[in-house]
């Protein structure tokens, strides 16, 4: 786990970017992105008397991959749902801070509130936001979750790092749906992850043959990123996949029953799309 700290306050540079992204409807049907615009940019509106944003990264890069002939599941969803795993760790960290320092108030966030987590992680020097809009690091690439503790404690603050994407356009060139519409700008409504997870209706017919067998999420822009050559397997047992998932063939997934779905994806983020959603995605890929 990596940790960086920034001073809580208004994210001045992010405000026009977020407004522009929303105005262009690049969030598609993710209407929740329109809510709490001010809170999304200012954590002091989320936590009373907030002074510091403690950003944390937790690696999820797996040691074993799925059967390469199967329909693909995004690596972050191999193991148990990260929301629950990380929330527990953050509670422990806050308790540890309180035990050491005394009365400290704060809240833990894991993708669970209107927070621009990548912006905060970049501000605290944990990496830079790459052309694929993911947070990248020179040490371990980008296969990790981002979480925050927002607390009412003044701390020493870290500094942002520099951008190391250079002239590379690997992620832009590799995206089969052309969702990376310009360097550093992703049209969420064109992303395979959006279609396979967020979209509740039928996947548009014009996307046929463009999904490269991704049935839940998509890792293409991360898989091709040169910085991910430095990815190392995680050490969190709760992120280990059900062995059955790794061995499943296309036929196994095409014929998956709701009972098997509940066993293989028990406590997994794949449950977000539900059994019907996964079946819809697989039917679309056939």
> Where in the sequence numbering do the catalytic residues fall?
111
d(CA 196, CA 280): 9
Cβ-count burial of 178 within 10 angstroms (0-12 exposed, 13-18 middle, 19+ buried)? exposed
Residues 6 or more apart whose Cβ sits within 8 Å of residue 3: 54, 55, 56, 57, 126
d(CA 157, CA 152): 14
d(CA 250, CA 92): 40
Phi, psi of 115 (to 5 degrees): -130, 135
d(CA 52, CA 5): 7
Residue length, the chain?
286
Tokens encoding 118: 């990548």
d(CA 76, CA 87): 16
Among 74, 19, 107, 92, residue whose Cα is nearest residue 245? 74
């Amino acid at each position: 786990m990596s940790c960086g700290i920034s001073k809580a306050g208004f994210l001045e540079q992010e405000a026009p970017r977020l407004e522009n992204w929303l105005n262009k409807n690049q969030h598609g049907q993710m209407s929740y992105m329109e809510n709490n615009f001010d809170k999304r940019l200012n954590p002091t509106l989320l936590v009373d008397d907030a002074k510091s944003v403690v950003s944390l990264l937790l690696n999820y890069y797996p040691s074993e991959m799925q059967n390469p002939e199967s329909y693909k599941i995004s690596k972050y969803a191999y193991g148990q749902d990260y929301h629950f795993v990380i929330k527990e760790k953050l509670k422990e960290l806050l308790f540890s801070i309180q035990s050491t320092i005394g009365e400290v108030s704060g809240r833990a966030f894991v993708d669970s509130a209107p927070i621009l987590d990548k912006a905060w992680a970049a501000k605290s020097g944990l990496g830079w936001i790459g052309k694929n809009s993911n947070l990248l690091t020179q040490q371990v690439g980008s296969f990790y979750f981002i979480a925050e503790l927002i607390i009412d404690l003044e701390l020493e603050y870290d500094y942002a790092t520099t951008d190391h994407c250079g002239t590379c356009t690997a992620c832009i060139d590799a995206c089969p749906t052309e969702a990376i519409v310009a360097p550093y700008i992703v049209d969420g409504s064109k992303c395979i992850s959006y279609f396979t997870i967020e979209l509740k209706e039928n996947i548009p017919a014009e996307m046929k043959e463009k999904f490269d067998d991704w049935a839940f999420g998509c890792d293409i822009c991360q898989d091709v990123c040169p910085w991910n050559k430095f990815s190392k397997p995680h050490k969190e047992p709760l992120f280990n996949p059900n062995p059955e998932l790794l061995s499943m063939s296309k036929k196994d997934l095409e014929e998956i029953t709701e009972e098997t779905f509940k066993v293989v994806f028990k406590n997994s983020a794949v449950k977000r799309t539900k059994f019907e959603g996964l079946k819809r995605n697989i039917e679309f890929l056939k």
